[in-house]
Structure 1
Amino acid sequence: MRFGCIADDFTGGSDIASFFVKGGLRTVLYNGVPQGDVMPDADACVIALKTRTQNTKEAVKSSLVAINWLKEQGAQQYYVKYCSTFDSTPEGNIGPICDAVMEEINVPYTILCPALPVNGRTVKDGCLYVHGVPLHKSPMKDHPLTPMWDYDLVRLMNAQSKFPSVKIPTSLPELEAEEFIEKFMNKIDTSRFYLVPDYEKEEDAEKLVQLFGDLKLITGGSGLAEPLAKVGNRNVETNTFEQSKSPALVLSGSCSEATRNQIAEYEKSGGISYFMDPVKLLSGEESVENIWNVIAKNKDTSVLVYSSDTPENVKLIQEQGKAEVAERLEKATADIAERAVNAGYHRIIVAGGETSGAVTKRLGFTGYHIGESIAPGVPIMIPIQETRIRLVLKSGNFGESDFFLRALSLT
């Protein structure tokens, strides 16, 4: 196994798995650490966790369990995959997880590389941008669970990590980069640290792989997965599966601007949609049974069920209890997905990392084949245990406005 990867949520796992496949590596994706005598026959193994919003202590613990399992499987290199828009609160889990993994596999330094230029995430002068807008001024500043309040990666990481970070220009030749790193090591009073390279254009990836591709540990978004995979790969073709003719269901819990635009485009096309009102769910005025009746009446076409809303409305709703609202919505969405699969819906499309995690946990599939991508970082996934099913799980910010329509046409 060339790469053993842990991801902070399920959509993050499917995201990086798709790029490993695109780079030519046989890749398997697991929802959590596999149990029993599982021996993945793959070049890259991705374990999706739920560490993005998990209690920090538990997030670190589950990350180390996954890393040690990958170590037992013979992984040569490790990849800690987190959101390409980072998590800029001081209480974020990226720092503690990366610190713990560095110590566990005993490496002196690694890189912080959240960039994914193909999806508009770039790093310039050590600062993170979303489609050219500083992270803390982008729509991500209003994320309901992990708001983005800064864009300087060194400042962000210094608030979370016990080890220092330093920006390193990718324009440096390899020998000068080595001298830069050595000088930094000599002047700091710590055994470990992070390097923050710039990554503005897709072509920068080649330079980054040249400089850092041999590191035992890499951390970041999925931007380096494909170029890393292409180094010495065996040109394995992506798995191909026939399109399904079953009914389809679209579920959205993401409140990102991108997802809200995708919902609007779906409705504009004439698609049937239903708003799952969190307030009514909490009061008992709305129920899964009622929502399912709407879906069942329209089985001959696709139905979109969404709780996505504007940041302003989300804040008002969360006044009733952020954790309770999130838990109730995730449970209701998972209930609906389970009913749909049991009723013969073999095409399930989900938007939102936490929502996707709740759905996949309920459906109970543990391993996936990775198929064609609907958009960069969003593949069609086919459960190993049930190859009739087609799952598409997207991070809230991914995909163009016609994403749901495209997903329905390709699954």
Structure 2
Amino acid sequence: MGRFLGVVADDFTGALMVAGYIEAAGIYCPVVFDAAAIVADAPVVVAGTRTRTIPVSEALGELARMTDAFVQAGYARLAYKACASFDSTAEGNIGPAADFLADRQGLRPVLMCAGFPRYGTTVHQGYLFYRGRLVSDSIKRFDPLTPMPDPDLVRFLSRQTPHPVALVNHATLLKGAGAAGAAVEALAAEGAGHVLLDLSDDNDTEIAAEIACSQPSVVVASDPLIIAYACRLARSEPANPKPAPRHAEGPAAVIAGTVGPVILRQLDVFGEAHPVLTLDLLDPRGDAGTIAAALEWALPFIGAQPFAISTATDGEGVERVQRLLGPLGAARRAEYLLGSIARGLHERGVNRLVVAGGETSGAVVSALGIGAVRAFPEGPLGTGFCVAEGPRPISLYLKPGKLGGDDVLLRALDLMQAPT
């Protein structure tokens, strides 16, 4: 079996998304959360990490561990998957990750590409749009950790790296891979260390993937280019030789750690049918007391009906907590509480979990000690479903916080029923 591409994703939900699309193309693509779980038995492997919001030095350490494991397993090409809107800060972590991989592989310029047209995120003339608006004027400006105040990605990414960032725009990409590839080479000759490619539509994705495959490349991109790149590289691989994954059986619960109006509406709809517990991050009982109380609250529902435990709150609640804990402190406390509660629920029999929020997903998977999962191909709710196989399988639906309809939590639980 060929070993074509090792992908390091900056969060767990994104890792599952790209793996789900790659699996749907008939390519075996496991998702790993531990470098020790990377083995040379798949043409493409995606490593889910938590490098999006942790300090740069920690992110680079995690990237180095995964990269070393990929190289040792024989994966010559490496890529870094960021989210569609390239969520980050002026300090990183996308630019530092790109520089690390470029230095590790000895390849420049790095090909960079943000956006996901299917979900309303595009890049045109280097400007990032989210649902038809400049990202700085969209709901993304309220993100508590990565508010994205500058829609000019060339300018924004230039703050994260000492190497010049250049642009190949949509008009050039329309001329085809030959012209666009020549433009990349010309910009590299002028000293560009990174070249950002517009992503105005799906055709831009295919042209960018053709350029990336035409020569050894370091790719730092959002989902569409990573998926197209992986599928092109693995075209010679026979159809997926692995049997399709199956969901686990047993009690189910929802864990929601994201914030904002989207998850609040989803929890309201879920709460019309099932119980919901909302945690206070400033609970005077402290972490241990809050966790114990949540598990005690949940115990009567386990096996009787689904339920949800959440730290989601409105803008006023977020401001109140962040004023005392800081944005990062508030996020880390929520992740610790929900991860610990998820572990406690599993110990009490819960085998199916719907988890809302990329960082929360990372916390839950880490707390459960899951090293690798098999992603399900895209279904009625898209991607994000997976199962950790073993003597006692665990089914998960890891959902990005701002995606999904109002009834997504209920629908996810229905779709996670094990076949009879």
TM-score normalized by structure 2? 0.89
Q: SS at 2:223's partner residue?
A: coil
2:34·2:372 contact (CA, 8 Å) conserved in 1? no
Shift in CA distance, 5/159, structure 1 to aligned 2, threshold 3 Å: same
CA distance in 2, matches of 1:237, 1:397: 34
Q: Counterpart of 1:384 in structure 2: which amino acid?
A: E
How far the C-alpha of 1:237 sits from its partner, in A, is 7.3
- TM-fit CA distance, 1:360: 1.0
Flag the 1:221–1:73 CA change in 2: closer, same or farther, 3 A.
same
1:276 maps to which of 274, 279, 289: 279
Letter in 2 for 1:371: F
Residues 1:230 and 2:243 are matched in the alignment: no
Q: 1:256-304 CA distances to partner (integer Å, 9 max, x unpaired)?
A: 4432332233234x23211111122565796222222222222311101
Match of 1:255 in 2: 259
- Change in 2 beyond 3 A, CA 1:386/1:106: farther
Show structure 2 runs of 5+ residues with no match: none
Within-5 A mapping of 1:306-321: 306-321=310-325
- Is residue 258–residue 396 contact of structure 1 (8 Å, CA) maintained in 2? yes
C-alpha contact (below 8 Å) 1:47/1:66 kept by paired residues: yes
The offset of 1:210, in angstroms, is: 2.4
Q: CA deviation at 1:20?
A: 2.0
Q: Which residue of 1 aligns with 2:295?
A: 292
C-alpha distance 238-312 of structure 1, shift in aligned 2 (>3 A): farther
CA distance in 2, matches of 1:385, 1:162: 46
1:46 correspondence with 2:46: yes
Q: Distance in 1 between matches of 2:69 and 2:286?
A: 43
Q: Return the alpha-carbon distance in structure 2 between the equivalents of residues 43 and 228 of structure 1.
A: 12
Spell out the pairing of 1:8-407 with structure 2 (5 A cutoff): 8-34=10-36, 39-169=39-169, 170-188=173-191, 193-214=193-214, 215-231=216-232, 232=235, 233-236=237-240, 239-268=243-272, 270-280=273-283, 287-299=290-302, 300-322=304-326, 323-373=328-378, 378-386=383-391, 388-407=393-412
Post-superposition Cα deviations, 1:312-337, rounded to whole Å, max 9, x if no partner, equal 32122111112443333222212211
| Residues in 2 aligned to 1:22 and 1:297: alpha-carbon distance in whole angstroms | 39
Counterparts in 2 of 1:25 and 1:256: CA distance versus 1, 3 Å? farther
Instruction: Please give the alpha-carbon distance, in whole angstroms, between the structure 2 residues aligned to 1:112 and 1:375.
Output: 30
Whole-Å separation in 2 of the counterparts to 1:386 and 1:121: 40
User: When the two structures are superposed, what TM-score results if normalisation uses the length of structure 1?
Assistant: 0.91
Letter of the 2:189 counterpart: N
Q: Which amino acid aligns with 1:23?
A: A
Shift of 1:242: 4.1
Query: Shift of residue 163 of structure 1?
Result: 1.1
Shift of 1:185: 2.7
Q: Distance in 1 between matches of 2:287 and 2:7?
A: 41
Take 1:22 and 1:102, find their aligned partners in 2: how far apart are those partners?
Answer: 30
| Structure 1: tracts of 5 or more residues without a match | none
How many residue pairs match? The answer is: 405
User: 284-293 vs 271-280, which deviates more?
Assistant: 284-293
